[in-house]
Structure 1
Amino acid sequence: MNLALTVLEIVAPVFLLAAIGYVWVKTGFEYRLQFVTQLAMTLSMPCLIFVSLMETEIDVGALTALSLATIVAYGAVTIAILILVKVMRLDNRTFTSPLIFGNTGNLGLPLAFFAFGDTGLSYAIIVFAIMLIWNFTFGIWMVAGQGSLTKILREPLFGGAFLGLLFMWQGWQTPVFLTNTLSLVGQLGIPLMLITLGVAVARLQAGGMVRAVLLSAVKLILCTAIAWGAADYFELGPVAFGVLVVQVATPVAVTSYMLAEKYGARSEDVAGLVVASTLMSVAALPLLLAAVL
């Protein structure tokens, strides 16, 4: 009973905030998705990432183990999804990238924070950063035939993570007035991302839902099993273990739909994956959290 209540306390804020965004749009209120997304991704989230890393003390050995486990996990997921797409004769450009990369930003970071606190958020940022690099290179190459490492280096999110790791490694701290300012700006990030997730899902026109549900279930099982195996192999601590499993198992990200739309892949099919996997995560993520807590 206590475990069920703990899990509910963790996931309820996540899905309630997403539901606010969903209802907001469905009732006809204006929500400027591009502006809010830009505000969160270029200002609020980089500040949150920087302060979280700067103020968290993470053992170097634990950080290295988590990084290696994340690289191995995403490498194995990539191979598994490539095989799945080939066996099922799916379109590479449409399905490969969405099935590999989950919503580790909008959903994974808030979930890690609510479940594991500041330390969990710092660990989740490491997983998120590694995923981001792989997504902006291999992921975009799969969708568009081109990737860009220089683009990821110019991303404010990457800059916030890099500076945060540097300050954490050196033991540096910004002046108190600046830290307080950055913290206030960063606190906007989590609610903004979750509300925006609900807005984006509400606006999607999903297609091929039967196949989308099947593929979402396969993605969830594969990603969970692979991440669990990687975390176990590298003997991660309880928090790092839980963060890696939850992050890798997050549902298909809305950004996958946006990339498909931008580069001419079958965006309707990707929208179906986003909707199906996100709805599935409402039931799956609480169960997963109960298993790793």
Structure 2
Amino acid sequence: MTLILTVLQIVTPVFLLAAIGFAWVKLGIDYDTAFVTRLAMTLAVPALIFVALARGDIDPGAAGTLALAALVSYLAVLAAIWAICRVMRLGLRTYWAPLSFGNTGNLGLPLALFAFGELGLGFAVVVFSVGAMVQFTLGIMIVAGTVNPLRALREPMVAATLLGGLFLWQEWRVPAVALNTLDLIGQMAIPLMLITLGVAVARLQPQGLLRVAGLSLLKLAVCGAVALAVGTAFGLDRITLGVLVVQLATPVAVTSYLLAVKYGADAPPVAGLVVVSTLMAVGSLPLILAFFV
């Protein structure tokens, strides 16, 4: 009973904030998703990432090992999902990227913070950043059929990661005034992302529920198993292993739907994956956390 209550205390705030966004839309109140997303992704989230790394709460060696484990995990997941898509004759441009990349920002970062504290958030930022760089290079190549490797470097989140990683590696210290200001800005990120997630889910329409439910379960199993295997092989401790598994096991990200729309892939099935996998996460993520908390 104690374990159940602990897990519920971790996941309940996450889904309640998303529920606020969901209810906001259903009540017919305007929500400028484009503005809020731009505010979060260009200001709040980069500040959160930089502070989490530059503060120096995590060991640089452990962060480097986790980054390498995350990169290997993503590449292994991409290979596994490619094989599954070929066997099941699923369109690669439609299904490959969404089934490979999870919602490591909107859900992964808050869950890591509530489950493992500030230390867990720092490690979750590492996995999130690696995933973002892979998604904005290989992920876009998959969806669009072309790739510009420099695109990732133009993303504020990636720039914040590289700069924060440099401060962490060199053990530089940010002046207190600047760090406190960036910390305050970064505190906007998690509430904004969770509420926006609820808004996005409320506006999407699931397509082919039975099929996307099966694919959502498949994504959860493949990504979770790969992360657990790779993390164990790298000898990660309980917290870093838990962060890696939770991050990769997160549901299909709304970003995948936006990229499908932008680059002309088949967007409705991706929308269905986002909605169904997010609803499944209400039950699956607490079960995963129970193994590590």
What TM-score, normalized by structure 2, do the two folds share?
0.98
Residue-by-residue CA offset, 1:19-77 (whole Å, 9 max, x unaligned)? 00000001000100000000000001111111111113332332232122112211111
**Residue 42 of structure 2 contacts residue 157 of structure 2 at CA under 8 Å; is this kept in 1?**
yes
Q: Give the equivalent residue in structure 2 for 1:84.
A: 84
Residues in 2 aligned to 1:193 and 1:203: alpha-carbon distance in whole angstroms:
15
1:56–1:122 CA contact under 8 A, matched in 2: no
SS of equivalent residue, structure 2 residue 106: helix
Identity of aligned residues (%): 57
Offset at residue 99 of structure 1 (A)? 0.3
Q: Work out the CA distance in 2 between the residues paired with 1:116 and 1:126.
A: 14
Deviation at 1:129, TM superposition (A): 1.1
Partner of 1:246: 246
How far apart, in 1, do the equivalents of 2:56 and 2:21 lie? 31
Structure 1 contact 56–119 (Cα < 8 Å) conserved: no
CA contact (8 A) 2:18 2:197 kept: yes
2:71 is the counterpart of 1:71 = yes
- Any idea what the Cα deviations from partners look like across 1:88-108, whole Å, max 9, x if unmatched? 101111000000000011111
1:290 to partner: Cα distance: 0.2
**Matched residue pairs, number?**
293
> Shift of the alpha carbon at 1:256?
0.5
Alignment check: 8 A CA contact 1:97 1:142 kept: yes
Match of 2:45 in 1: 45
TM-score (norm 1): 0.98
Give per-residue Cα distances to partners, 1:154-190, cap 9 Å, x unaligned.
1111111111111112222222221111111110000
Question: What is the RMSD of the two structures over their aligned residues, measured on CA atoms?
Answer: 1.0
> Hey, what's the Cα distance between the residues in 2 that align with 1:141 and 1:55?
34
**Cα distance in structure 2, aligned partners of 1:67 and 1:174:** 23
Could you say which residue in structure 2 is the equivalent of 1:270? 270
Which residue of 2 is the match for residue 105 of structure 1? 105
Unaligned runs of 5+ in 2: none
* Distance in 1 between residues matched to 2:28 and 2:63, nearest whole Å: 45
Q: Which amino acid aligns with 1:35?
A: F
* Residue 135, structure 1, aligned to residue 168, structure 2: no
Shift of 1:3: 1.2
Q: 1:233 offset after TM fit, Å?
A: 0.7
Residue ranges of structure 1 left out of the alignment (5+ in a row)? none
1:263 is aligned with what amino acid?
Y
Amino acid across the alignment from 2:71: I
Could you say which residue in structure 1 is the equivalent of 2:12? Answer: 12
Q: CA deviation at 1:238?
A: 1.1
Contact 2:256 2:270 in 1 (8 A): yes
Q: Please tell me whether residue 21 in structure 1 is matched to residue 21 in structure 2.
A: yes
Q: Which residue of 1 aligns with 2:215?
A: 215
Distance 2:59 2:49 in 1: 18
Counterpart-to-counterpart distance in 2, 1:35 and 1:229: 39
* Match of residue 290 from structure 1: 290
CA distance in 1, matches of 2:211, 2:183: 43
| Deviation string, structure 1 residues 210-249 (Cα, Å, up to 9, x no partner) | 1100000011011111100111111101110100000010
User: How far apart, in 2, do the equivalents of 1:65 and 1:158 lie?
Assistant: 18
Q: Which aligned segments of 4 or more residues in structure 1 are displaced greater than 2 angstroms?
A: 56-61
**What is the one-letter code of the residue matched to 1:278?**
T
Tell me the alpha carbon deviations over residues 103-161 of structure 1, each in whole angstroms, 9 at most, x when there is no partner. 01111111111111111111111111111111111111111111222111011111111
- What's the counterpart of residue 167 of structure 1? 167
User: What is the match of residue 62 of structure 2?
Assistant: 62
Partners of 2:112 and 2:148 lie apart in 1 by 28
8 Å Cα contact 2:137/2:151 also seen in 1: no
Q: Is the 8 A contact 2:56 2:171 kept in 1?
A: no
- 1:200 equivalent to 2:200? Answer yes
1:147 matched residue in structure 2: 147
